[in-house]
Amino acid sequence: MHNSYIIFCKRDCPTCTLIEPVLAELLARNLSLTLYTQDDPAFPALPGVVDDTALEQSYAHNIEIVPTLIQLEDGAEVARTVGWDKATWRQMTGVDTLGEALPEMRPGCGAKNVEPGLAEKLAVRFGDAVLSARRIALASLEDEMEACYERGWSDGLPLVPPTEERVLKMLSGTDRSAAEIVGVIPPDGAECTVEKVAINAVMAGCKPEYLPVVLAAVAAACLDEFCMHGLLATTWFSGPVVIVNGPIAKAIGMNAGVNALGQGNRANATIGRALQLVIRNVGGGRPGGVDRSCLGNPGKYTFCFAEREEDSPWESLAVERGFAPADSAVTLFAGDGVQGIYDQRSRTPEALTQTFAECLTAVAHPRAVQASDAVLVISPEHARIYREAGWSKARLRQELDAQLMLPVNQVWTRAERAGTSAERVAKFRPGGLHIVHAGGSAGMFSAIIGGWVASGAMGSVAVTQKIR
pLDDT tens for 184-240 read 999 999 999 999 999 999 999 999 999 999 999 999 999 999 999 999 999 999 999
User: What separation, in Å, do the N-terminal and C-terminal C-alpha atoms of the chain show?
Assistant: 44
For residues 266 and 62, what is the distance between their CA atoms, to the nearest angstrom? 31
Q: Is 414's pLDDT higher than 70?
A: no
139: Cβ–Cβ under 8 A, 6 or more apart, which residues? none
Domain extent listing, the chain: 3-126, 216-466
Burial class (CB in 10 A: 0-12, 13-18, 19+), 206: buried
Give pLDDT, residue 417.
46
Average pLDDT over residues 363-373: 94
**What number of CA atoms fall less than 13 Å from residue 79's CA on the CB side?**
12
DSSP 66: E
* CA dist., res. 86 & res. 101, Å (int): 10
Note the pLDDT of residue 132. 85
Distance (Å, rounded) from C-alpha 392 to C-alpha 320? 12
DSSP helix/strand/coil, 130: coil
Strands 3-9 and 33-37: parallel
Ramachandran region, residue 21 (left: φ > 0; alpha: ψ -120 to 50; beta: rest): alpha
Residues 6+ apart with CB under 8 A from 140: none
pLDDT in tens, 18-44: 999 999 999 999 889 999 999 999 999
Query: Distance of alpha carbon 259 from its chain centroid, rounded?
Result: 19
Residue 413 has pLDDT above 90, yes or no: no
Q: Indicate the CATH number of 3-126 among 3.30.565.10, 3.40.30.10, 3.40.50.720, 3.40.50.1980.
A: 3.40.30.10
Mean pLDDT (whole number) for 274-288: 97
CA nearest to 4, candidates 37, 28, 26: 26
Instruction: Kindly report the pTM of this predicted structure.
Output: 0.87
pLDDT of 3 > 70? The answer is yes
pLDDT at 109 over 70: yes
Cα distance between residue 465 and residue 468, in whole Å: 9
pLDDT above 70 as % of the chain: 98
Tens of pLDDT along 124-151?
888 776 788 888 888 888 999 999 999 9
